[in-house]
Structure 1
Amino acid sequence: MTAEQRATDPRPPLRRPQLPRGWRRRLARLPLGLYRVGLGFLFGKRLLLLHHTGRVSGLDRTVVLEVVAHDPEQGTWTLASGFGPTSAWYQNLRKTPKTLVQVGNRHYAVTAHFLTEAEGGEVMARYAPLHPRAARRLCVFMGFEVDGSVRSYREVGHQIPFVRLDAAPGQPLP
């Protein structure tokens, strides 16, 4: 988006949420520790462990993320970048889209595809009625006001970066 487009864009600018600190950081990182000791199955299909390669360091990195949408027939998982397009995992996937995920205790080779604003709006419009509290918290966290209507969630979805992870062909799917 150019500076001229930003000046005429009626949407509020995306606020950069603050990273958790102290006990909140420990709590946010707890699922990562549980995955590391083999207890990923506790999260079912709601969370996944994403491996990504550092774009500068080249080192393997991991992060646990909430699954916004899952299509077992197609073998896809859709994720939202709650910290916006500057999240390390999001930028790393932009550079190296082929990676691995762990869902429960199963591993899948995946390729990241970055959704358009319109596709993101549709994902958010479908997610909000299924998980109203989580959708509302995500919007508040990112600095958006929503009135609870599908339309307002769709508008917010236009501004949140979404990534669809497609399982490699030939893998047994969940």
Structure 2
Amino acid sequence: MEMTDRPGPPTGLARVLWRLPILLYRCGLGRLLGHRVMLLTHIGRSSGQPRHAVLEVVEHDRSGYIAASGFGARADWYRNVIAEPDVTIQIAARKLNVTAAPLSAKQGGEVMARYAGERPAAARRLCGLMGFRVDGGVEDYREVGEQVPFVRFTIRGEG
């Protein structure tokens, strides 16, 4: 694994396009995005106002969902859920009350290794977007996962 240039959060037109799925959710069309995309509603740590982010579901089970902060620990949504972990997610048409908790670096490495095994092409593209060059080996993906913050969203109850 080699770190290339770690990108910052998108700005300008790229930000508008990146946030377009939020509009789909607001229009009641979240189901078009399937079960691999979630709408996160969280509280701004400074403003106290509701904020939204759309994240890829990296892994899920009966107890909750896992997502990665591709822009690292400086991403606003990540900093907000660390400050106020009781949040809401929506996957397709299903809204859930969840509690966010960061995974350890080791846990993140294991999650990324599993993700790469299940979706190799998507994992390679995702690593490129996050500024990592990988050789496609499990250890490379594990190393990336140890450097990217992952968050588990544990279900508290239906929303």
Query: For residue 107 of structure 2, what is the aligned residue in structure 1?
Result: 119
Query: For residue 54 of structure 1, what is the aligned residue in structure 2?
Result: 44
Distance across 1 between alignment mates of 2:156 and 2:115: 25
Query: For residue 133 of structure 1, what is the aligned residue in structure 2?
Result: 121
SS in 2 for 1:19: coil
State the Cα deviation string for residues 131-153 of structure 1 (Å, max 9, x = none): 22221122122222211011110
State the Cα deviation string for residues 13-39 of structure 1 (Å, max 9, x = none): 795413334443332121111000000
Percent of residue pairs identical: 51
Distance across 1 between alignment mates of 2:121 and 2:8: 20
Distance across 2 between alignment mates of 1:93 and 1:66: 16
Calculate the aligned-residue CA RMSD, in Å.
1.9
Query: For residue 54 of structure 2, what is the aligned residue in structure 1?
Result: 64
Structure 2 residue ranges without an equivalent (≥5): none
Normalised by the length of structure 1, the TM-score is: 0.84
Distance across 2 between alignment mates of 1:118 and 1:162: 10
After TM superposition, the structure 1 stretch with the greater mean CA deviation from structure 2, 94-103 or 128-137, is: 128-137
Query: For residue 146 of structure 2, what is the aligned residue in structure 1?
Result: 158
Higher strand share: 2
Check if 1:110 corresponds to 2:106.
no
TM-superposed deviation, 1:106: 1.5
Runs of 4+ in 1 over 6 A off after TM superposition: 11-14
TM-superposed deviation, 1:44: 1.6
Distance across 2 between alignment mates of 1:14 and 1:65: 23
Name the structure, 1 or 2, with higher relative contact order (CA <8 Å, separation 6+): 2
Distance across 2 between alignment mates of 1:119 and 1:144: 19
The equivalent position to 1:94 in structure 2, one of 82, 101, 109, is 82
Query: For residue 31 of structure 1, what is the aligned residue in structure 2?
Result: 21
Distance across 1 between alignment mates of 2:20 and 2:3: 31
Distance across 2 between alignment mates of 1:167 and 1:14: 36
How many pairs are equivalent? 159
